[in-house]
Structure 1
């Protein structure tokens, strides 16, 4: 399973040459070419409209025991 989290408000950018490098929590996650205005994002991130989302996989925690009556084993 995966979960999308809107991180748009936490994105910062720094201009470097002809591109703007996008950061989330001080980690580079993508860039925008200032000439063509095309955006590319690292794996695990996705743009939808004007928002940027972090795609996080969720792992269901397995129970350490099965067939317990009312949680007691």
Structure 2
């Protein structure tokens, strides 16, 4: 089974996202990777997010491929590093 055939899973990443101000916007980051920005204006805030991210009901979500429920996450755990 390849990754493309796995369903997408919607993950709430709000608590892991942080922002840095930049003029009239706030750049948004997840794990040091820029995922978008919030533009501030008199007409309200505008959210621009990278592909795979969504702003919904005051939360930020990331869409990821779901892992197989019966599949292994790591193989060869007897090597002692996992």
Q: Considering only aligned residues, what root-mean-square deviation do their CA atoms show, in Å?
A: 1.9
Q: Which runs of 5+ in 1 are unaligned?
A: 61-73
1:46 to 46, 51, 54: 54
Q: Deviations over 1:10-30 (max 9, x none)?
A: 010000111100001111101
More strand by percentage: 1
Q: What is the total number of aligned residue pairs between the two structures?
A: 62
Q: TM-score, normalised by structure 2?
A: 0.67
Alignment of 1:7-46 (within 5 A): 7-35=13-41, 36-46=44-54
More helix by percentage: 2
Q: Which runs of 5+ in 2 are unaligned?
A: 1-6, 69-82
Q: TM-score, normalised by structure 1?
A: 0.75
> 1:41: Cα distance to partner?
0.5
Which has more radius of gyration? Answer: 1
